[in-house]
Amino acid sequence: MPAEIYLNVAVSGLLTGLVYGLMALGLSVIFGVVRIVNFAHGEMMTIAMYLAVALFSAYRLDPLAMLVPIAAVLFALGYVMQRGLINPFINRPEHSQFMLLVAAALIMVNALLIAFGPDARGVQTSYAFASYALGPLIVDATKAYAGLAAVTVAAGLFAFFRYTLIGKAIRACADNYAGALVVGLDVKRLYALTFAIGSACVGACGSMMVLLVDVTPPLGPTYTLLAFVIVITGGLGSMAGALLGGVLIGVTEALGGLLFTPSAKSMFTFAILVVVLLFRPQGLLGKRLT
Amino acid sequence: MTRRRFVGVGLGAGLAGSLAAQSFAIARAQGAAVGAPLKVGVLLPRSGVQAGIGQDCQRGVDIAPGILKDLGLPELAIMNADTETNVEVARARAERLIGEGAQLIVGAFDSGQSTAIAQVAEQKGIPYVINIAAAPPITEQGYKFVFRNFPTASMILADAFANQKEIFAAVGSAPKSVVFMHVNDTYGTSMQKGIDAVLSKADMPYKILDTIAYDPAARDLSVEVAKAKATGAEALLLVSRLNDAMLLTRELVKQRWTPMAVLSMGPGWYEDQYLKTLGRLADGPISFVPWYDPNKPLSKALEAALAKAHPDVNLNTNHIYTFEALLIAADAYKRAGSADPKALADAIRATDIGNNVSIGPGIRFDAKGQNATLKNAAIQNRGGKLVTIAPKSAANAKPEWPLGPYDKRG
Amino acid sequence: MILLLTDGVPRRVLKLLAGLSLVLLAAPLAASDYLITVLILVLYFAYVGQAWNLMMGFAGQLSLGHALYVGLGAYAAAALYVHFGVGPWLGLWVAMASSAAVGATIGFLAFRFGVGGVYFAILTIAFAEFARIGFDHWGWLGGSAGLFLPVANYARNDILTLRGSPTMFYYVMLTMTAAAFVLCHALLRSRIGYYWLAIRESPDAAQALGIDIFRCKMVAVIISAAMTSLGGVLFAFYYNNLFPEQIFHISRSIELILGPIIGGIGTLAGPIVGAFLLSTLAEGLSEIMRWVGIDLPGIKQVFYGFCLLGVVLFLPDGVWPPLGRWLGLGREEGDRESGEGER
């Protein structure tokens, strides 16, 4: 097989991996701070994708342009969910959290089925079929834009957590819950805010993802699982880790599919997961778990 | 009386009561007056992953009554049920329908669910007419009450290759090499398994350079298409579903590869959503599928009825075969003269309907309950519509060859 | 032995159990085939739920990939039958052995390397998915085209090869569920049962007392895996066709843990109550939808989701503990303290 195929596939995997990484970032933020296992993560992205589809089919609004409004809607949804539903579950055992979010996910998926029907919906922007040729490299335009958007949003998030007061407060809650209380932080509100930020992240990711993938109601669970794998691989509590994990998974799957049977390429993801869990459970860039 | 005892008695009474009610309902159910509409249970996946297809098949059910009446066939009382794309639910629903008096069952699109229903039907001695399910084992079990009016994977393959040769002869050109891509699900794998056996006998002008299987849930097929392009094959032979068809087409455009032909032996490439979403980019692919004979009068009637009920929907496999299942039911009921299940099953076995919709001499069943006379067509996408280009007896257009380059389609 | 098992159990509980057993034994005489089919499903979920509960409720390990063992059991027994003509009563030993081996591997990897909590849960999902994709590509077992068991005459009930009417399957399933119930009850009262309780409540204290935590957890995982695989064997011979995409799918894993979680984790009656409740709820909702005339695909699942939500929000320990208390049956050994979390 000519060498440029490998390059093409790797680049494609990298760009897709960046978008996956952003999705995982949202989960990492939620899990790292609020310690809630958000099993409805993929479903929330599906909701964002449907929003993008609806806006596009009604008003021809490009999903990337709609990124901020869609993220805002998901922000609100996340805040309400956390405040209203999830808060009492923070100290409950995992299986209870799991049940809660599984029930929520079930409702979301079927509500979407009723609202939008079972057929796959996509967004056909003017550049949906475009690609850039750079020498032997053919780069898919939609992937390039999505990847760029992912990096931008991630950078924004980094800046938020590092330089703003609220961002630091949230990190404080994650690092030391008791300490945060002692210092007088309104932990409940910060938790809700964090969940909201994580949801906004997933909302932004949805508007990018809809350029790459058509949405159907049962799309969520695959991506929830993928997000978890990436978070664990990259390392909990490390935002760079989430992106790195995403890229790693994206590239590995792509190259694995090229070298072996494409239908088995997900096995590589799980193999990586098992290896990481056993030999470096804190993930590639995570802090060692106490 | 203590609370416990009260509850205990209450529960016991409730359970006994519901059991009794069920039995009573059974006793009443199956006995129907002669001349009454035949109770037909229709099992389709109306929710779950296959919801789109199930709801499409339902359209075939909805337009049937009018046409059956025009043919002078007895009325059918349709009992709709949802298998929820789940084997266990399919089985339970089948039991339920029979318990409520269904005298014949039709369904269920999916091979796994159809197998479960077939077992129930055989056990209960209620005739079961399968509308769509291609897995060969279903009619190899020695069932007496299960009938399939749909080709098996091997039949689809054999016809596909025969039609391809006919097309190559008609256009005077043929690819020397192909790459075979297939979705790794029940249908795709059945086709892939059958292909070696059929290909050796078919004497095709091309070689299969590589076989690429992909995950049915895959959302991104860029790697698969890159791999296919890298083989240097002239044409693309494939078995896919609707979503993959759209994804593959997009990748073909983005990776700047226009094969000599796209030869699809499954669903997807001719479906309404494909045509609508891709517009001009949808033209050209040839699909080898169980189809209707556009020259048969009943086909025209069916087409007209569908156009009236759903103006923007093209007549396709789902509608045709679901309709024919009901046609078989009504025709057998007329000949049997009674709703007795055994009589119905015998009548179905003796079916010989020449005035039908699908391609071939007509509907008749062999000893295993399979309609082995079905023929499959080659259809091509042209300007948002579908034309039949092979076999000659059922054709209504000439093939367009080769595939127009994707980057010149505006 | 019966005295040993029933020692300490309140008499009213025994009377209730006896009454329930009689009703269940007699059910096929009065019930329609449809009802029997539903009951078989209920008992199946009660059985695998009980097996899962052993690992979760007793040893505190959340397994979200239990469909793996169902699938392994089903494929092992089915493959032996299809390719070698070996009947299910022999095949089930192979099924149990292979599931136990896989369970032990997962347990070993997890416990030795200190993987717990949600990480363990994700690990189990990963193994189940790995199996799903792997079996999809395993031609000898049919791959994604599926493995079909040859189906024979239904007129005769053949217990040896598990071919027969639903009534036969009903009694087999009933026996399995009852046996699981008795087994779990016996295990809870045995030494290891108390060790499990100690590990669940406070692993550090247990370790300080000299309990071999690793060994106890492994035993729980192995028993749970083996039990679950038997459910898979029955599944294979009842449905007669297996597809990796369906049997190993994560939705199956979630399906089979709904019962015990709703019913009450860690309790003996929880999985059974949960299974009955959920099936009744599902069928009931379908009925109501039909009766009201709403024919919207997906609406039933929305209501179902809300019901689940309701139970999770208002009955955090499951339905059985408050129900049992209300019926005056008292707490059983193995009940969890309510609201306690595991971090």
Question: Could you tell me what percentage of chain B is helix, strand and coil, using 3-state DSSP and rounding each to the nearest 5?
Answer: 50, 15, 35
Residues 6+ apart with CB under 8 A from B126: B98, B102, B103, B104, B105, B145, B341
Report the distance separating Cα B26 and Cα B6, nearest Å: 30
Quick one: pLDDT band at residue C11, thresholds 50, 70, 90?
A: confident
Residue B178's DSSP bridge partners are B208, B235
Instruction: Compute the C-alpha angle C117/C119/C121, nearest 5°.
Output: 75
Contact present, A6 and A74 (Cβ < 8 Å)? no
Within this chain, domains B33-151+295-373 and B154-292+377-408 share the same CATH topology: yes
- CA distances C309 to A85, A96, C194, C253, C318, Å, are 10, 10, 33, 19, 12
Q: Which two tokens stand for residue C338?
A: 């309510």
- Using a CB-CB cut-off of 8 Å, the residues of chain A touching B247 are 214
- Using a CB-CB cut-off of 8 Å, the residues of chain C touching B92 are 34, 37-38, 41
Contact present, A246 and A22 (Cβ < 8 Å)? yes
Quick one: pLDDT band at residue A1, thresholds 50, 70, 90?
A: low
Q: What is the pLDDT of residue B27?
A: 36
Q: What is the pLDDT of residue C293?
A: 78
Question: Testing the interface with C: which of A46, A110, A223 to mutate, by most C Cβ within 10 A?
Answer: A110
**C20 and chain B in contact, CB less than 8 A:** no
Q: Which chains touch A (3 or more CB pairs under 8 A)?
A: B, C
Report the distance separating Cα B182 and Cα B263, nearest Å: 12
pLDDT above 70 as % of chain C: 92
Q: What is the pLDDT of residue A75?
A: 93
- Residue A128: inside a domain, yes or no? yes
Range of the domain at A17: 3-279
Distance from CA of B192 to the nearest CA of A (A): 14
Which of residues C4 and C183 earns the better pLDDT score? C183
The separation between CA B47 and the C-alpha centre of its own chain, rounded to angstroms, equals 17
- The mean pLDDT value for A146-170 works out to 89
Q: For C205-240, what is each residue's pLDDT tens digit? A: 888 888 888 888 899 999 999 999 999 999 999 888
Would the pLDDT of B19 be above 50? no
- The mean pLDDT value for B357-374 works out to 91
CB atoms within 10 A of CB C192: 18
Distance from CA of C298 to the nearest CA of B (A): 6
- The mean pLDDT value for B258-281 works out to 91
- Using a CB-CB cut-off of 8 Å, the residues of chain B touching C301 are 47
Quick one: pLDDT band at residue A200, thresholds 50, 70, 90?
A: very high
Would the pLDDT of C6 be above 50? yes
Q: Which two tokens stand for residue B113?
A: 């669910």
Report the distance separating Cα B5 and Cα C228, nearest Å: 35
Domain B154-292+377-408 homologous superfamily, CATH? Response regulator (3.40.50.2300)
C136 with B184: Cβ contact below 8 A: yes
Residue of B98, B189, B216 lying closest to C145 (CB–CB): B189
Pairing, β B207-214 against β B177-183: parallel
> B408: which DSSP letter?
G
The separation between CA C151 and the C-alpha centre of its own chain, rounded to angstroms, equals 26
- The mean pLDDT value for A82-110 works out to 85
Q: Please report, for chain B, the start and end positions of each structural domain, with discontinuous segments joined by +.
A: 33-151+295-373, 154-292+377-408
C151 with B15: Cβ contact below 8 A: no
Which of residues B10 and B161 earns the better pLDDT score? B161
Q: For B290-318, what is each residue's pLDDT tens digit? A: 999 988 999 999 999 999 999 888 899 99
Question: Testing the interface with B: which of C20, C144, C154 to mutate, by most B Cβ within 10 A?
Answer: C144
Fold of B33-151+295-373: Rossmann fold (3.40.50)
Number of H helices, E strands in chain A: 11, 2
B residues 202-241 closer than 8 Å to C (CB): 213, 215-216
Angle between helices B317-336 and B341-349 (to 10 degrees): 120
Q: For A238-255, what is each residue's pLDDT tens digit? A: 888 899 999 999 999 888
Q: For B53-66, what is each residue's pLDDT tens digit? A: 898 999 999 999 99
Q: What is the pLDDT of residue C342?
A: 33
ipTM of the complex: 0.84
Question: Could you tell me what percentage of chain A is helix, strand and coil, using 3-state DSSP and rounding each to the nearest 5?
Answer: 75, 5, 20
Q: What is the pLDDT of residue A288?
A: 56
The single-letter code of the amino acid at B130 is I
- CA distances C256 to B345, C168, C251, C281, Å, are 38, 23, 9, 15
Q: For C160-196, what is each residue's pLDDT tens digit? A: 777 777 888 899 999 999 999 999 988 888 888 888 8
Residue of B115, B122, B185 lying closest to C241 (CB–CB): B115
Quick one: pLDDT band at residue B239, thresholds 50, 70, 90?
A: very high
- Residue A288: inside a domain, yes or no? no
A75: domain CATH number is 1.10.3470
- State how many domains chain A has: 1
Distance from CA of B294 to the nearest CA of C (A): 32
- Residue A287: inside a domain, yes or no? no
Contact present, C135 and C75 (Cβ < 8 Å)? yes
- Using a CB-CB cut-off of 8 Å, the residues of chain C touching B47 are 297-298, 300-301
Q: What is the pLDDT of residue B220?
A: 81
Would the pLDDT of B178 be above 90? yes
pLDDT above 70 as % of chain B: 91
The separation between CA A125 and the C-alpha centre of its own chain, rounded to angstroms, equals 22
Angle between helices C11-30 and C166-189 (to 10 degrees): 170
In the block, which residue shows the tokens 């860690």?
A: C266
- Residue A265: inside a domain, yes or no? yes
Kindly report which listed range (A186-190, A278-282, C36-40) carries the lowest average pLDDT score.
Answer: A278-282
Q: What is the pLDDT of residue C155?
A: 61
- Residue A263: inside a domain, yes or no? yes
Would the pLDDT of C343 be above 80? no
Kindly report which listed range (B272-281, B363-372, C5-14) carries the lowest average pLDDT score.
Answer: C5-14
Quick one: pLDDT band at residue C80, thresholds 50, 70, 90?
A: very high
In the block, which residue shows the tokens 């956390």?
A: A82
Query: Phi/psi class of residue B405: alpha, beta or left (left: φ > 0; alpha: ψ in -120 to 50)?
Result: beta
- Which of B179, B255, B234, B168 is closest to B212 using CA atoms? B179
- The mean pLDDT value for B228-253 works out to 91
- The mean pLDDT value for A63-71 works out to 89
Report the distance separating Cα B22 and Cα B366, nearest Å: 37
